[in-house]
């Protein structure tokens, strides 16, 4: 049985890690901003914020499911 060398694309792995961290923090920040603005009595901006969060999460789930 021959041993096969495993090649890991460290640059690609680093890019995935970076994008995951930035987008993960971005979604949390966007959701937190929506909550903070909702506490001030506004309704439209928090709704847009929450819909944007839901759209980003749905897009991520689609990427995982389809690839």
Q: pLDDT of 54-65, one tens digit each? A: 999 999 999 999
Instruction: Please answer whether residues 27 and 56 qualify as being in contact, where contact means their C-beta atoms are separated by less than 8 angstroms.
Output: yes
Q: Which two tokens stand for residue 37?
A: 């603005």
| CB-based burial label for 34 (10 Å; 0-12, 13-18, 19+) | buried
Q: pLDDT of 17-37, one tens digit each? A: 999 999 999 999 999 999 999
40-43 contacts, C-beta under 8 A, 24 or more apart: none
Instruction: Please answer whether residues 2 and 21 qualify as being in contact, where contact means their C-beta atoms are separated by less than 8 angstroms.
Output: no
Q: Which two tokens stand for residue 17?
A: 């890690």
The pTM is what? Answer: 0.76
């Amino acid at each position: 049985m021959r041993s096969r060398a495993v090649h890991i694309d460290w640059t690609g792995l680093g890019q995935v890690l970076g994008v995951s961290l930035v987008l993960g923090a971005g979604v949390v920040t966007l959701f937190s901003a929506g909550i903070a603005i909702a506490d001030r009595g506004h309704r439209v901006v928090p709704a847009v914020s929450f819909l944007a969060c839901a759209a980003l999460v749905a897009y991520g789930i689609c990427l995982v499911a389809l690839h």
